[in-house]
Structure 1
Amino acid sequence: MRLKARNRIVTGALLLLVLLVVFGALLSGAPPARAAEAFTLEGRAAPLGMATDHARDRYWVLERASGRLQITAIGADGMVQGRMSSRDTVSSAQGLAFWDGEAWVGDIGGRREQVVVLRITEPWPGTEIRNAVPYALTYPDGRHDAAALLVDGDHRLHVVTRGEGAGVYRAPADPSSSGPNALERVADVPSAEITDGVVLQDGRWVLRDATTLYTLDPASLAVVDESAIGVEERGRSVTESLTLGSVLTALGPAGEVTSTAVPGPTPSASPTARPVRTVAPPAEAGTPDPTRTFEQTGTTTAMTAALVLAGLAAVVVLFRR
Structure 2
Amino acid sequence: MRWVVALVFLAVFGGSVPASAAEEPQPLCTVKDSRIGELSGLVSDGSRLYAINDGGTKIQVFVLGRDCKVQKVLTDRTDPFDVEDLARTPDGRLWLSDTGDNQKGRLTVALLEMSPQGKVTLHRLTYPDGQHDTEALIMDKAGTPYLITKDILGEAKVYRPSGPLASPGPTNLEKVGTVKIAETDTPGGPVGSFGSVLVTGGASTADGTVIALRTYTDAYLYAAPDGDVPAALQRTPVRVPLAGEKQGEAIAFDPDGTLLSGSEGVGEPIRAVRGAAALVPSASASADGKPASSASGGGTSDGGGVPILPAAGIAVAVVGLGWFGFTRLRRRRG
- Residue 205 of structure 2 is aligned with which of 176, 187, 200? 200
Note the alpha carbon deviations across 1:141-183, whole angstroms, 9 max, x for none. 1110011112111000111111256211112452111421111
CA deviation after TM superposition for structure 1 residue 188, in Å: 1.1
CA distance in 2, matches of 1:146, 1:196: 9
Cα 1:37–1:163, aligned 2, differ >3 Å: closer, same or farther?
closer
Residue 80 in structure 1 maps to residue 70 in structure 2: yes
Q: Map 1:117-132; keep pairs closer than 5 Å.
A: 117-122=111-116, 132=120
Contact 1:53–1:99 (CA under 8 A) maintained in structure 2: no
Residue 246 in structure 1 maps to residue 279 in structure 2: no
Q: Map 1:14-25; keep pairs closer than 5 Å.
A: none
Q: Which residue of 1 aligns with 2:244?
A: 231
Cα 1:95–1:53, aligned 2, differ >3 Å: closer, same or farther?
same
Cα 1:113–1:46, aligned 2, differ >3 Å: closer, same or farther?
same
Cα 1:237–1:37, aligned 2, differ >3 Å: closer, same or farther?
closer
CA deviation after TM superposition for structure 1 residue 120, in Å: 0.6
CA distance in 2, matches of 1:264, 1:115: 34
CA deviation after TM superposition for structure 1 residue 114, in Å: 1.9
CA distance in 2, matches of 1:113, 1:225: 35
Contact 1:68–1:87 (CA under 8 A) maintained in structure 2: yes
Aligned length: 225
Q: Which residue of 1 aligns with 2:139?
A: 151
Supply the AA of the counterpart residue of 1:118: L
Supply the AA of the counterpart residue of 1:247: L
Q: Which residue of 1 aligns with 2:175?
A: 185
Aligned with 1:166: secondary structure?
A: strand
Contact 1:149–1:159 (CA under 8 A) maintained in structure 2: yes
CA deviation after TM superposition for structure 1 residue 98, in Å: 0.8
CA distance in 1, matches of 2:250, 2:54: 13
CA distance in 1, matches of 2:169, 2:29: 41
- Runs of 4+ with deviation above 6 angstroms: none
Of 67-76 and 187-196, the range deviating more from structure 2:
187-196
CA deviation after TM superposition for structure 1 residue 263, in Å: 6.3
Aligned with 2:58: secondary structure?
A: strand
Q: Which residue of 2 aligns with 1:61?
A: 51
Cα 1:88–1:43, aligned 2, differ >3 Å: closer, same or farther?
closer
Supply the AA of the counterpart residue of 2:214: R
CA distance in 2, matches of 1:51, 1:70: 14
Cα 1:141–1:246, aligned 2, differ >3 Å: closer, same or farther?
same
Contact 1:225–1:263 (CA under 8 A) maintained in structure 2: no
CA distance in 1, matches of 2:147, 2:253: 18
Q: Greater relative contact order (Cα 8 A, min sep 6): structure 1 or 2?
A: 2
Which structure dedicates a bigger proportion of its chain to helix? Answer: 1
Q: Which residue of 2 aligns with 1:103?
A: 94
CA distance in 1, matches of 2:206, 2:281: 11
CA distance in 2, matches of 1:263, 1:241: 10
CA distance in 2, matches of 1:178, 1:198: 25
CA deviation after TM superposition for structure 1 residue 75, in Å: 1.1
CA deviation after TM superposition for structure 1 residue 61, in Å: 0.6
Residue 217 in structure 1 maps to residue 223 in structure 2: yes
Supply the AA of the counterpart residue of 1:141: D
Q: Equivalent pairs: percent with the same residue?
A: 26
Aligned with 2:216: secondary structure?
A: coil
Contact 2:33–2:69 (CA under 8 A) maintained in structure 1: no
Q: Which residue of 1 aligns with 2:41?
A: 49
CA distance in 1, matches of 2:200, 2:282: 29
CA distance in 2, matches of 1:268, 1:216: 9
Supply the AA of the counterpart residue of 1:116: A
- Residue 164 of structure 2 is aligned with which of 161, 174, 180? 174
CA distance in 1, matches of 2:264, 2:243: 10
Residue 265 in structure 1 maps to residue 259 in structure 2: no
CA distance in 2, matches of 1:143, 1:95: 18
Q: Map 1:299-314; keep pairs closer than 5 Å.
A: none
How large is the RMSD of aligned CA atoms in angstroms? 2.4
Aligned with 1:236: secondary structure?
A: strand
Note the alpha carbon deviations across 1:201-238, whole angstroms, 9 max, x for none. 24211000011110123331223211211223334110
